[in-house]
Amino acid sequence: MEIPTLNVEPRKAAGSRAAARLRRSGKLPAVLYGHGREPASITLDYHDVEQHMQHGLHVVKLDMEGKVQPCQFKDAQYDYLGSTLVHIDLVRVDLTERVTVTVPLDFRGTPKGVSEGGIFHHELTELEIECVVAEIPESIRVDIFELALDQVLHVKDIQLPEGVTAMGDPESAVAVVRLPSTAPAVEETAEAEGEAASAEPEVIAKGKAEDESAGEEKS
């Protein structure tokens, strides 16, 4: 996989106003850190970063004043609507080191359990993995053709690329095909609620009868 190179400029001005000016000019404020070196405030081209992130890219090479350094996208910050990227952190990496990242799951096919009346449910949409920096996949393909009715697909069942290890519990459910909820269950719930509601006036009537009896005794 070819790693793209992004041009980087040092960022001298700090503060929210300076960052807003950068974004208006098509630049993205960022911080570069890691590998025992001092953090560096930088700017990148907003469009380039957004495009690479939308395609699931995790690693880029940063060219700052002729010095090229491979880096990993680490933390991205968005505006209050969650739609516009406003800041990003990158960490320096060695292309041969192993890192932990989260990648999306790419479900392929129609489960055979669906033809039996079931509905496909995914419990996970992404997976945390560990692999070499240079081999981070954009996504993990998950073939679900053979998933039968009431069959659960676990993390341990996913076929991972060579050199990639899934993190977390291997028994965690990824997907399942289940029958849809049946109407009688809903009717039974409604009937139970109706019985509970009809029972309430009886208690009130009983209390009223006791009050009337007490009044007759006094008279």
Tokens of 203: 């208690």
Q: CATH 2.40.240.10 spans which residues of the chain? A: 5-93
Class of domain 100-178: mainly beta
Average pLDDT over residues 95-106: 93
Tokens of 169: 């519990």
Which of 94, 175, 93, 88 is CA-nearest to residue 127? 175
- End-to-end, the C-alpha distance of the chain in Å comes to 98
Separation of alpha carbons 76 and 70, rounded Å = 18
Provide, rounded to the nearest whole percent, the portion of the chain with pLDDT above 70. 81
Q: Among 32-36, 38-42, 96-100, 212-216, where is mean pLDDT lowest?
A: 212-216
> Cβ distance 186 to 135 under 8 Å?
no
With a cut of 70, say whether residue 219 has pLDDT above it. no
Q: CATH 2.170.120.20 spans which residues of the chain? A: 100-178
| AA identity, residue 145 | F
CA distances from 117 to 13, 144, 175 (A): 61, 16, 16
Indicate the helix (H) or strand (E) that contains 211. Answer: helix 183-218
Q: Give me the chain's average pLDDT, please.
A: 82
> Cβ distance 164 to 135 under 8 Å?
yes
The pTM of this model reads 0.69
Fold classification of 5-93 is: Ribosomal Protein L25; Chain P (2.40.240)
CA distances from 153 to 103, 164, 169, 202, 219 (A): 18, 19, 13, 51, 76
With a cut of 80, say whether residue 12 has pLDDT above it. no
Separation of alpha carbons 70 and 90, rounded Å = 10
How confident is the model at residue 114, as a pLDDT? 94
